Amino acid sequence: MTRRQRRWPIHLALIAVCFVMLVPFYWVLKTSISGENIFSYPPSIVPRDPQPFYYVDVWYAIPFARYFLNSVVVSILTIVANVVLNAMAGYSLTQTFPGKQIVLMLFLSCMMIPFQATIIPAYLITGKLGLLDSYLGLALPMFSTIICIFVFKASFDAVPRSLIDAARVDGLSEWRIIWKVMMPLAKSAVATNVILSFIWSWNNFMWPLIATRSQDMQTLPLGLARFISYQEDTTGALYAFCIMVLAPGILLFLLAQKEFVQGLTTGATKG
């Protein structure tokens, strides 16, 4: 087989690509710990006089803890709602019932409606509900996601029919079947739901931008955008802030990469 020879060009190409993918991170990280004036030219390649003071600056320049808390609360609301609502909807789709085709059609057409095409009425509706500038209002539009419903459906479909029938004969209600029989067997679907909804809500920028008014309700991405509009990019603290915001996402991704990728590919190929 010719396939076994000449691997070094492949490695070379991939190393070059990985380099391009990673250099931007490095450049920002370098700026955030460099002790020299960030605008001195030529820029140093390795951080000169490394120091952590920009990270300290972030704490004084902005209410980082408040932004962080807001992001965490909104993310937790989103995650819990997603797991519960999507599991229920996903279970329903494994059953036969009148009107199933309509529901499937509805879900598929909703997938074609990007959130950005609904912002004006979404803002007005949330206003009518009195939820602008509240945690619930920030999380509500993301309470259920169609991709994740299909992730649960795929996972529940793999549970043997006989097991569900046995549970029914034992007198378990449908509600109990979901939580006692299906969920323990769908751990990876739960993990996928948790990770996808966390990443989506953690990174969400446009909706909080529209739906919050007071600084007290702003989430991390908004804080980052606000920082740059007030201070421009004149201080290394901006890049320290950037790293502090990216770190949790990167860590979580490295820990749960499998579930994340699985969720994306299930969602993409099945829905």
Contacts to another protein from residues 171-210, by CB under 8 A: 171-175, 178, 199, 202-203, 205-206, 209-210
CB of 107 to another protein, least distance (A): 7
Query: What is the distance between the alpha carbons of residues 80 and 198, in angstroms, rounded to a whole number?
Result: 10
Q: Are 257 and 199 in contact (CB under 8 A)?
A: no
Confirm or reject binding of residue 16 to another protein (CB under 8 A): no
Please answer whether residues 62 and 227 qualify as being in contact, where contact means their C-beta atoms are separated by less than 8 angstroms: yes
Distance between CA atoms of 171 and 182, rounded to whole angstroms? Answer: 15
The yes or no reply on residue 160 touching another protein (CB under 8 A) is: no
Residues 6+ apart with CB under 8 A from 40: none
Task: State which of residues 77, 89, 194, 240 lies at the interface with another protein (CB under 8 A).
Answer: 89
Q: Does residue number 113 form part of the binding site for another protein (CB under 8 A)? A: yes
Among 77, 140, 186, 237, binds another protein (CB under 8 A): 140
Interacting span for another protein (CB under 8 A) from 52-60, 61-69, 184-192, 223-231:
223-231
CA nearest 108: which of 223, 270, 251?
270
Cβ neighbors of 13 (< 8 A, separation 6 or more) are none
131 is a contact residue toward another protein (CB under 8 A): no
Our finding on whether 231 is near another protein (CB under 8 A) is no
Neighbouring C-beta atoms of residue 70, cutoff 10 Å: 23
Near another protein by CB under 8 A, which window of 50-58, 72-80, 83-91, 180-188? Answer: 83-91
In the bound complex, what is the minimum distance in angstroms from residue 205's beta carbon to another protein?
A: 4
Distances (CA, A) of 111 to 117, 148, 230, 257: 12, 12, 36, 24
The 3-state DSSP class for residue 208 equals helix
By CB under 8 A, tell whether 254 contacts another protein. yes
Q: Is 103 a residue that touches another protein (CB under 8 A)?
A: yes
> Does 55 help bind another protein (rule: CB under 8 A)?
no
The least distance separating another protein from the CB of residue 41, rounded to whole angstroms, comes to: 6
Which of these segments, 46-54, 62-70, 121-129, 158-166, binds another protein (CB under 8 A)? 121-129
Nearer to another protein, 96 or 184 (CB): 96
| Residue 69 is a binding residue for another protein (CB under 8 A) | no
- Interface with another protein, residue 11, by CB under 8 A: yes
C-alpha 224/C-alpha 241 separation (Å) is 7
Nearer to another protein, 3 or 65 (CB): 3
Return all residues near 171 (Cβ < 8 A) that are at least 6 apart.
none
